[in-house]
Every structure is written in C-alpha cells, then in structure tokens.
Amino acid sequence: MERLKQQLQAEGIAYRADEPLAAHCTFKIGGPADVFALPETEEQLCRVIALCKEQGVKYYLLGNGSNILFEDAGYRGVVIDTMALKMGIGFLEQVAHPGAAPGEVYDAVVAGAGLKLSSLCTAALENSLTGLEFAYGIPGTVGGAVYMNAGAYGGEMKQVLRSAAVLFPEEGIRTLSCEELNLSYRHSLLTEHPEAVVLYAEFELTPGDPEAIRAAMRELMAKRKASQPLEWPSAGSTFKRPEGYFAGRLIEEAGCKGLTVGGAQVSEKHAGFVINTGSATCADVRELIRRVQEAVYRAHGDVLALIEKVQKTVYDAHGVMLEPEVKIIR
C-alpha cells in the first residue's frame, strides 16, 4: 500500500490515508479506508485503477454513497471518489438518432458520472428541458443512477437515458446505448460487471414549460419530505420492492415499525427505511435487517419465501424474497 501511495503522490493524484468512510455516505456509518483517492480527470481515474490492478490492491468506486453501508472496520484497499472528477455538464440541441427521418431530433444533456442528480435536474430546469423531474431528490450521482437504473414516482433512468460511456478496465472505454445497458428495476448490465466505471451519460430530454417543470419538482420533493425520514441518516429504501408488494407495508404489517438494534431503527415514518439515530454501527444495521427479514417471513410465510442471500431476489412457487437494496461494502 505504501508503494501505491508513493506512486499516487509522484503522479500528482490526490489521496487521503485512513479516511473515515462515515463522512462519505448518507448512512454516516463506516470505518477508515486505507486510501481514499480523489482523481480529478478521466486519465487520473484510469491511472488509479491501473495502479490498483498492477499491485493487486482491492478498490471500490464511490459516488455520493447514498445506497452504501460500509463495514465498521472500514475498507482494506482504495476507495476512489468519483465525485472528485471535474467533469461537468453540456447541452446539445437538435440531435438526431442514427438513421432517423429528417426532422426527428431531440435535445440532449451530457453529464459527468460524478455530478449529483439534483444538479443535473436543476440544470435541465434552467434550460427548460423536461423528463428528469422524477429524479429530483434522489440522493445519488449520474454514474450511480445509470449503474442501478435509479427511479422514483413512476420514472426511471431507462426512460431518459440515451447512452453512457463506460470504462471496462480490461477493454477500455465503450459507449453503450440504453438498450445495450439492459436496464430494469435496480439493475443494469453494469451490476454484472462491478469493475466497470461510468464516465458520463447522455440523456434525451424534451423542451418544456419551466414553470411546469419547477412545479413538478417541488411537488415530488414535498411528497418525499412528507413520507420519508429525510431528517435522519439512511441509505434510502433499505429493501427492494418485491414484485406485487410494497416492502414498507410488509414490514409494517409484520410489526417492525420502530424496531431498534443499537443506534439503527426501522423508521416510524416509513417502515421501508432503516435509519441511523445517531450512533448506529454497520453491525447494528445488519442485525436489524436480519430481524426484519425474519419477522416478515413469519408474518407472511404463506406469501414470502425467505432466502439468506441478501443481494438476490428469488421467486418460487410460494412467494418472493424481501431483499436488501443497500449494498454492504467490505
């Protein structure tokens, strides 16, 4: 690790040693990372990844940290902060699809992966472009939103995403269309290739009335504030929505609203959220998730089949699995 630090310093790539990860995720939980790299350019990002691979050092690409739970012991390796990338936002007018008929054009927004979704939505509003209103308030970055096909209130990235430039460490940079990314509920091609890095994305938007866009954004944000525990640190919705059900409703019906382990609690406001009441540890959250899974299984055993693997939704003849949406990073 010392050799890697020396090379980063020699090449002018900023980093911090033993950086507390609780400061870089919305759960406010997590021990220190051995190295917290802050590449500012695409070239520096590629170089950090290359150095890690050359030296056999584990690395993790971090955006806004809004769907992440870091271990209490931290991360033994390099956490790469993509929000440090100085890749902004650009607008392209009257863009034509390949092979499109004359006059079939759209307005495009190209945004860097480290840009916050809220900033992208605000920029679209300022340019009277509609289509991203649903994403206003989602606490993530452009890269993370593409990676997991982020969505809310009936909208999702696949409805507006045109393409994304993705770095595959073994192949180089490829531009993938929305179709090639194979977006579905909280899934994309990239979830099957965790080593891949979104560099920037192009969105297809439509000219609209700025007042109507602003009103829609305000309405959706008001809904969030009224129904979600935004005043507490969390990773957003803790469980993926089982097909045909609402996770929060199943959890509430199982009597888990307000259930507490240490500093972690099932929100009294919305049972689909596990919150950090101030002193929660990763161990607290994991134990609380386990208890919720068991309680939901007991309460809905004829409907839901509980499977221990946290990261995969499984359907069988008897029901569905309540799967944690938050990603635990070790």
Whether residues 96 and 195 fall in one domain: yes
* 8 A C-beta contact, residue 111 and residue 126: no
In this structure, what token pair is assigned to residue 210? 């700025």
The question of whether 2 is a catalytic residue gets the answer no
Whether residues 317 and 261 fall in one domain: yes
Q: How many alpha carbons lie under 13 Å from residue 274 in its C-beta half-sphere?
A: 36
Closest CA to 273 of 139, 74, 120, 121: 139
Whether residues 51 and 148 fall in one domain: no
Whether residues 306 and 292 fall in one domain: yes
The least confident of 10-14, 72-76, 122-126 is 122-126
- For 40-53, the DSSP string reads -SHHHHHHHHHHHH
Domain limit, last residue, from 84, 100, 125: 84
Catalytically annotated residue among 163, 237, 241, 323: 237
Total domains, the chain: 3
Domain limit, last residue, from 160, 192, 216: 216
- CA separation for the pair 249, 254 (Å, rounded): 9
| Enclosing domain of residue 75 | 2-84
Indicate if the pLDDT at residue 301 is higher than 80.
no
User: CA-CA distances (angstroms) from residue 289 to 76, 129, 272, 292?
Assistant: 24, 40, 11, 5
Whether residues 134 and 31 fall in one domain: no
Residue 250 located in a structural domain: yes
- CA separation for the pair 238, 325 (Å, rounded): 5
The question of whether 325 is a catalytic residue gets the answer yes
Residue 21 located in a structural domain: yes
**pLDDT for 237-261, tens place per residue?**
888 777 777 888 888 888 889 999 9
* 8 A C-beta contact, residue 27 and residue 229: no
- CA separation for the pair 125, 133 (Å, rounded): 9
Catalytically annotated residue among 133, 186, 241, 286: 186
Whether residues 108 and 209 fall in one domain: yes
Other C-beta atoms lying within 10 Å of the C-beta of residue 100: 11
Most confident of 29-38, 94-103, 264-273: 29-38
The question of whether 323 is a catalytic residue gets the answer no
Indicate if the pLDDT at residue 93 is higher than 60.
no
**pLDDT for 113-154, tens place per residue?**
889 999 999 999 998 999 999 999 888 899 999 999 998 888
Residue 222 located in a structural domain: no
Average pLDDT over residues 221-234: 93
Domain limit, last residue, from 84, 99, 125: 84
**Domain holding 59: CATH number?**
3.30.43.10
- Read off the pTM: 0.80
**pLDDT for 155-208, tens place per residue?**
999 999 999 999 988 888 999 999 999 999 888 999 888 889 899 999 999 889
**Domain holding 300: CATH number?**
3.90.78.10
